[in-house]
Amino acid sequence: MNKQAYIDQAEAHLFHVYNRFPVVFDHGEGVYLYDTDGKQYLDFASGIGVMALGYSDPEYTAAVQEQVGRLLHTSNLYYTPQVAAAGEAVCRVSGMDKVFFTNSGAEAIEGAIKTAKKYASRRDGHAGHEVIAMQQSFHGRTVGALSVTGTDHYREPFYPLMGGVKFANFNDLDSVKALMNENVCAILVETVQGEGGIYPAEPAFLEGLRALCDQYDALLILDEIQCGMGRSGSMYAFQQYNVKPDILTTAKALGLGVPVGAFAVTQKVADASLVPGDHGTTYGGNPLVCAAVAKSVELMEQRQIPKHVQEMTPYLVETLQYFVDKYDCVTAQRGMGFMRGLVLTIPVGPVVAKALEEGLIVLSAGKDVLRLLPPLVMEKEGIDEMKEKLTKVLDSFQA
């Protein structure tokens, strides 16, 4: 079939909840995707931060293919070598003590919230505890995850949501203190806000949240679904701060393309929260995804991917500053590691669409931020190619 035939077939049968771009991708190799017409696209989105090692990595592919031929699923009534290896790998690189595997980032958030509520109910002997989340945050699209997402347009059609959620301002410790009390079971925050505009947390802010949680025996939940797994220049972004969470959520690049997420907790939390029967999942942590997780962590460690991000980040920042200096419609850049944003004075949607026409895949973050999430293996040559393509795009809007 040709491209339009695929699009027509999809539109005839898929629930229209995505405004998809008119492109049909067929395969990928390295940092490039190729559509069904054979056109090449430089990928600075990596499947919204998932494809950290790019496409068709031979070692990763071989590990997943081997597991497909060996064992796909057993349920969590039994142990497998793969879940044991994946659990050890995640705990080792995160510094956390126990992990629960989910099917997605949203499910990891759901599990983190349940864990915090159970911890508080065991602490106090009653339910009804509150969560403090952040304005302009994004944590997922399930009802629980929407309840702690601080962006009205995601939430409003689905009211009433989960109660007991209060919103503070990101990087404003006083706004959190004003909401804090003995009934708060958790403070939930992205270490780097993604959909909210690519804002890294300020060190004093995270340190202040940690101190508040210690003071009230509440749990600090750090959402690193997007910024984790090497994207920040460390395996997890919080490792660049003098702060450790009680609960960490992770997904996206955790499995390099297979649908997997996780929430990890300290031993203190594991000993005083969920017990058998409190939480579960049929597919989560099955042998296939856990083989992918274990291989993902192994390859990132062997290839020193966080170090590569550290080495390439100054060049990427320098390149993005070129756009700030050159174009009136680009006012600032910000981010952490290979999670970057360009702030625009023009609508970002048409810029993303024009970039796709030029063979460059980028994303938006809100209405005015062009988001760049390149594969973590991106080299200077790819950054130079991005600069060339994005210059053509912005020239067309400047004229």
Contact 66, 81 (CB under 8 A): no
Please return the burial class of 397, using the count of CB atoms within 10 Å of its CB with bins 0-12, 13-18 and 19+: middle
Percent of the chain with pLDDT over 90: 99
Is the pLDDT confidence value at 116 over 90?
yes
Question: pLDDT tens digit string along 262-271?
Answer: 999 999 999 9
Question: pLDDT tens digit string along 210-263?
Answer: 999 999 999 999 999 999 999 999 999 999 999 999 999 999 999 999 999 999
pLDDT of residue 399: 64
CATH 3.40.640.10 domain extents, the chain: 59-302
Q: Which of 360, 359, 358, 327 is nearest to 344 (CA)?
A: 327
Structure tokens at 310: 């550290």
Distances (CA, A) of 243 to 210, 213, 248, 339: 7, 12, 12, 20
Residue count of the chain, please give it: 399
CATH architecture entry for 59-302: 3-Layer(aba) Sandwich (3.40)
Distances (CA, A) of 255 to 80, 264, 296, 300: 17, 15, 6, 11
Question: pLDDT tens digit string along 349-387?
Answer: 999 999 999 999 999 998 899 999 999 999 999 999 999
pTM, full prediction:
0.97
Which 3 state secondary structure label does DSSP give 235? coil
pLDDT of residue 157: 94
Structure tokens at 32: 């490039």
Which 3 state secondary structure label does DSSP give 33? strand
The string of DSSP letters for 111-159 reads: HHHHHHHHHHHHHHS----EEEEEBT----SSHHHHHT-B-HHHHGGG-
Question: pLDDT tens digit string along 27-49?
Answer: 999 999 999 999 999 999 999 99
Please return the burial class of 2, using the count of CB atoms within 10 Å of its CB with bins 0-12, 13-18 and 19+: exposed
Contact 193, 199 (CB under 8 A): yes
Contact 82, 72 (CB under 8 A): no
Question: pLDDT tens digit string along 295-327?
Answer: 999 999 999 999 999 999 999 999 999 999 999
Predicted confidence band of residue 398 (pLDDT cuts 50, 70, 90): confident
Please return the burial class of 156, using the count of CB atoms within 10 Å of its CB with bins 0-12, 13-18 and 19+: exposed
Structure tokens at 245: 């969470």
pLDDT of residue 1: 86
**Average confidence (pLDDT) over 89-95:** 98
CATH 3.90.1150.10 domain extents, the chain: 3-57+304-398
Which strands make up the sheet holding 360-361, listed edge to edge?
Answer: 25-29, 32-35, 40-43, 360-361
Angle subtended at Cα 164 by Cα 160 and Cα 168, rounded to the nearest 5 degrees: 105
Distances (CA, A) of 309 to 52, 104, 234, 312, 315: 11, 25, 8, 5, 10
Is the pLDDT confidence value at 77 over 70?
yes
Is the pLDDT confidence value at 91 over 90?
yes
Q: Which residues contact 230 (CB under 8 A, 6 or more apart)?
A: 52, 253, 300, 305, 306, 309, 337, 376
| Per CATH, domain 3-57+304-398 is 3.90.1150.10 | yes
